[in-house]
Amino acid sequence: MSVRVDPDLMKDLKAFGLQDANMCYNCGNCTGTCPLSTSDNAFPRKFVRYAQLGMKDKILTSPEPWLCYYCGDCSVKCPRGAEPGETMMALRRYLTANYDWTGFARKFYTSEKFEIMAIAAVAIFVGLGLLLFHGKPNWEHAALNSVWPSEYVEMADLGMAGILSFLLLSNAARCFKLIMGDLASKVPFSMYMSEAKELVIHLLTQKRFGKCTDRMQWFVHLMIMTGYASVFLMVVVLINGLYLDRVGIEGIKFQRDWPEYPIWNPIRLIGYYSTFAIMYGTTYAIIGRLKKSKPVYKYSHPTDWMFLILLQLTTMTGIFIHFTRLLDWPFPTYAIYVIHMMVAIPMLVLEVPFAKWAHLAYRPLVIYLVRVKEKYALSLATAEETSMEQAQPEVEIAS
Amino acid sequence: MANMATQSIMVVGGGMSGLSAALEAAEAGYQVYLVEKNPYLGGRVAQLRQYFPKLCPPYCGLEINFRRIKTNPSIQFFTMAEVEKISGVVGDYDVSIKLSPRYVNENCTCCGKCGEACTMEIDNPFNYGMDKIKAAYLPHDMAFPMRYVIDPSLAGNAGEMEKVKAACAYDAIDAGEQAKTLEIKVGAIVWATGWQPYDATKLTSYGFREYPNVITNVMMERLAATNGPTHGAIVRPSDGKAPETVAFIQCAGSRDENHLPFCSGICCLASMKHARYVREQYPNAKVYIFYIDIRATDRLEDFYVTTKEDENIIFFKGKVAQIFQDDATNNLTLRVENTMTGKIHEIPVDLAVLATGMQPNTSVSPIPTTVAYDDYGFVASSGKLGICAAGCARSPLAVSESVQDGTSAALKAIQAVARR
């Protein structure tokens, strides 16, 4: 089998944040150090090697970059300072760009200017949209529904969710094809189904992350993830209290009119949890990246900063709105709401299908597919064994 | 001709390169002072079982050199001596040498009665602390000068010292000996203070000192030596049992920017030599040599090729990342990626030998005057005229190269004083 080599791969990967991979002399210390690396899925050294040799196809079809959670042990112990952990990170960015069929992700990752322009463009679009389309504001009370009724926000939400899901799922389908290759159709459907719980478990718990030596990162990641997931549930699914006859169920509606829910209301408590969790996680990460406190924070790609800044700005403007609503100040509420949307929407629209957020789909999917592949290989091996056993008895008697 | 005082040469370090430099200069007719920190000459070579290139016992070569010293009136040597101060310029250096008390004078016949009388024990430095010796001791069987030494811990214990002194029939023990400072004038200096094994406790993933069956290459050399702690039996320190599987871990702290960034150049061959020690002793033992790259240069390639012919010696390409110990048996498991196949292996072994590299002693105790060093603490080759380095103070070298380097340093020193 011939191997196609891309001589420009290292140069290309540099744009995705590759550091000193050319320093690597392939001793394998990183792979032996990694607590997540296994004999069947050994990394990171092999991937540093692939990068050095320009073996692009190997990288594109490999699951390993997604099996790494970047604890940084490999980089700390690397005798050459070749930053294998950052190589794996750069490969995840590279894969995100390559899974994306629109080509947008590549531009987003490789040009900081493009990244900022894209976010600004969506922000302006959202801002103008909110200013152009609105109802008659209630200046007596801070009632968001008077300006931007929740049922319309919900419609926009669902429309956006539809587009994002389409983009993300179509990219995930490409990821699926690359990882599974010829096996995609060979593996029986029932096997995909029986392992599906693995997908859900990894999506919700990221339990593999807990095997890293630095468990703090797992905790921080879980905080951001759960905080984000719960707030997403509220602003997209429950914004109008589930779609029922344009009205929704009053008790679970997120964007409700003045007065606010009482303090012990579950919706409000979930909101507080989300706010705390995201602020805690993002602040920890921002301080870590500023101080370069651990290997995972040593190098920051522009998209890493953008991700944290957008997430933190969204949360902070959300907190402001909460207070202006509690104080019942109509104008500040409406004004900050516009800013809030101008940050939150670009973050979702651009980060989810094209950048860092996309890993929410790729990582659990790939871990799940690795599991499916293992099961399939095992079933083939047992099938072979049984057929051997069936053929064996006569020989055994003879001997 | 200039005055005779500035024609003399001081050689610091009585190891292989220092001995060579001192002898070559003395035999060329120059007055030489040889200064050695240990109570004996011969340096690290004296601690080897066999040495390259011919795998001969080190005393073959050392004894020839000691005889040359004994018969040459131009050499004056000092043991237990350290250079404290150097001042002046080429052709006219003033040097202060601190002489530590040995507490044993030239009357000593090495009868050993003092050692028998002594109840105090110390870690045996000659065997890297793998066994204990009496605090009144002969550094090793073939020590030159052949004279006992009394450890400062014993000298400080008046009661015990009294007993030891009483046991000596030759009035060889001088309990009141004090440290002295010697001032000499020399014209040129050869610095040959050699190396020390890199501190393996810094390699935290390998558990040296924590796991008894993890040893270093220099310890392996002592284990295999007939005058070593086990009289040549290569056994596990934890239980004294013969190992069935022995692992050699190459580049333990070498070629590593977190430790010694350079290659010492000798450890690959040393481990192969050790693998042969093991295989000679245990015909069924299995040996792994874990390496990043094997560095066997020039004719030593033959040694590599021959070693590879032994089917029980497995050359495994991959740097061992971690060692785990089973606390009940003290057995070890090594986690390593085979970089040829990309698979991770967990390999059980009975004994692991860390092939640690050479750290220049000058990186720990520099020359007491301004001299240029390279990034790793070796004396830079462009040292000033009059002070030059030889052997492993200049670069990591094998024994035969150290001899050549000593000779070359002798010539440089002679040139420095002959120009006066």
Domain range for B152 = 113-167
Residue A13 backbone phi and psi in degrees, to 5: -65, -25
Q: Is residue B20 part of a domain?
A: yes
Q: Under 8 Å CB-to-CB from A143, ≥6 apart: which residues?
A: A257, A258, A330
CB within 8 Å: B251 and A37: no
Residue B267: pLDDT over 90? yes
CA distance A38 to chain B (A): 6
The whole-number average pLDDT for the span B224-230 is 95
Which residues pair with residue B258 across a beta bridge? none
Kindly state whether residue B107 falls inside one of the protein's structural domains: no
Hey, which residues 342-401 in chain B have their CB within 8 Å of chain A?
342-345
Q: Is residue B108 part of a domain?
A: no
Phi and psi angles of residue A377, each rounded to the nearest 5 degrees, phi first: -60, -40
**Co-location of B221 and B329 in the same domain:** yes
Same domain, B288 and B302: yes
The B residues from 262 to 301 touching A (CB cutoff 8 Å) are 292-293
- This model of the complex carries an ipTM of 0.90
The pLDDT of residue A149 = 87
User: Which tens digits make up the pLDDT trace of B115-127?
Assistant: 999 999 999 999 9
A25 contacts B292? CB cut-off 8 A = yes
Do the chains contact at A45 and B319, CB–CB below 8 Å?
no
From the list B319, B343, B345, the residue facing A29 with the nearest CB is B319
* pLDDT range class, residue B236, cuts 50, 70, 90: very high
Mutation test of the interface with chain A: which of B336, B339, B356, choosing the one with the most A Cβ atoms within 10 A? B339
| Cα of A57 to nearest chain B Cα, Å | 17
Do B226 and B126 have their domain in common?
Answer: no
Count of domains for chain B: 3
B230: CATH: 3.50.50.60
pLDDT at A292: 95
pLDDT of B200 > 90? The answer is yes
> Does residue B349 sit in the same domain as residue B203?
yes
Kindly state whether residues B203 and B192 are assigned to the same domain: no
Report how far apart the first and last C-alpha atoms of chain B are (Å, whole number).
8
Whether residues B379 and B403 share a domain: the answer is yes
Q: Which residues contact A345 (CB under 8 A, 6 or more apart)?
A: A122, A123, A126, A160
B16 touches chain A (CB under 8 A): no
Inside any domain, residue B105:
no
Helix axes A112-132, A302-326, angle to 10 degrees: 20
- Is A205 part of the contact surface with chain B (CB cutoff 8 Å)? no
- Using CB atoms, pick whichever of B257, B339, B345 lies closest to residue A80: B257
Question: What single letter denotes the amino acid at residue A384?
Answer: E
| Whole-number percent of chain B with pLDDT over 70 | 98
B261 with B313, same domain?
yes
Asked if residue B294 and residue B241 are part of one domain, the reply reads: yes
B300 and B222, same structural domain?
A: yes
- Both B189 and B45 in one domain: the answer is yes
Whether A306 and chain B come into contact, CB under 8 Å, resolves to no
Among B250, B319, B335, B341, pick the best mutation site for testing chain A contact (most A Cβ within 10 A). B319
Q: Is residue B215 part of a domain?
A: yes
| Residue type at position B169 | A
Residue A398 is predicted with a pLDDT of 41
| Contact between B45 and B399 (Cβ < 8 Å) | yes
Asked whether residue B2 carries a pLDDT value surpassing 60, the answer given is no
| Cα–Cα distance, A385 to A392 (Å, whole number) | 10
For residue B382, what pLDDT is reported? 64
Residue B394 tokens read as: 């200049």
How many Å apart are CA B225 and CA B127, to the nearest integer?
10
CA distance B339 to chain A (A): 6
Last residue of a domain, one of B302, B330, B356: B356
- Give B93's strand partners: B88, B186
Return mean pLDDT, chain B: 94
Q: Where are the domains of chain A?
A: 9-99, 104-374
Q: With an 8 Å Cβ cutoff, are A31 and B344 in contact?
A: yes
Q: Is A72 left (phi over 0), alpha (psi -120 to 50) or beta?
A: left
Residues B214 and B342 placed together within one structural domain of the fold: yes
Domain boundary among B356, B375, B400: B356
Residue A245: its pLDDT value, please?
A: 58
What residues of A are in contact with residue B320 (Cβ under 8 Å)? Answer: 32
Beta-carbon separation of A79 and B257 below 8 A: yes
Question: Rounded to 10 degrees, what is the CA torsion of A314, A317, A322, A324?
Answer: -160
State the CB neighbour count (10 A cutoff) for residue A143: 22
Q: How far apart are CA B83 and CA B183, in angstroms?
A: 10
Helix, strand, or coil here: B306? helix
Query: Contacts of residue A83 in chain B, CB cutoff 8 Å?
Result: none
B38 inside domain: yes
What DSSP line would sit under B63-120, residue for residue?
HHHHHHHHT-TTEEEESSEEEEEEEEETTEEEEEEEE---SB-TT-----HHHHH---
The minimal CB distance from B322 to the residues A26, A32, A79 is found for A32
For the A9-99 domain, the top CATH level (class) is mainly alpha
399 residues of chain A, pLDDT tens digit each: 578 899 999 999 999 999 999 999 999 999 999 999 998 899 999 999 999 999 999 999 999 999 999 999 999 999 999 999 999 999 999 999 999 999 999 999 999 999 999 999 999 999 999 999 998 999 998 888 889 988 888 888 889 989 999 999 999 999 999 999 999 999 999 999 998 988 888 888 888 899 998 889 999 999 999 999 898 888 887 887 776 556 667 777 787 776 778 888 888 899 999 999 999 999 999 999 999 999 999 999 999 999 999 999 999 999 999 999 999 999 999 999 999 999 999 998 899 999 999 999 999 999 999 999 999 999 998 888 887 766 655 444 443
Say yes or no: B221 and B350 in one domain: yes
Q: Which residue has the tokens 């008895």?
A: A393
**Which of A197-206, B161-170, B354-363 shows the lowest mean pLDDT across its residues?**
A197-206
Instruction: Please state the φ and ψ torsions of residue B227, each to the nearest 5 degrees.
Output: -95, 20
Nearest to B337 among A25, A32, A79 (CB): A32
Domain contains B104: no
The Cα B409–Cα A101 span in angstroms is 68
Task: Name the residue facing A28 among B258, B259, B318 (closest C-beta).
Answer: B318
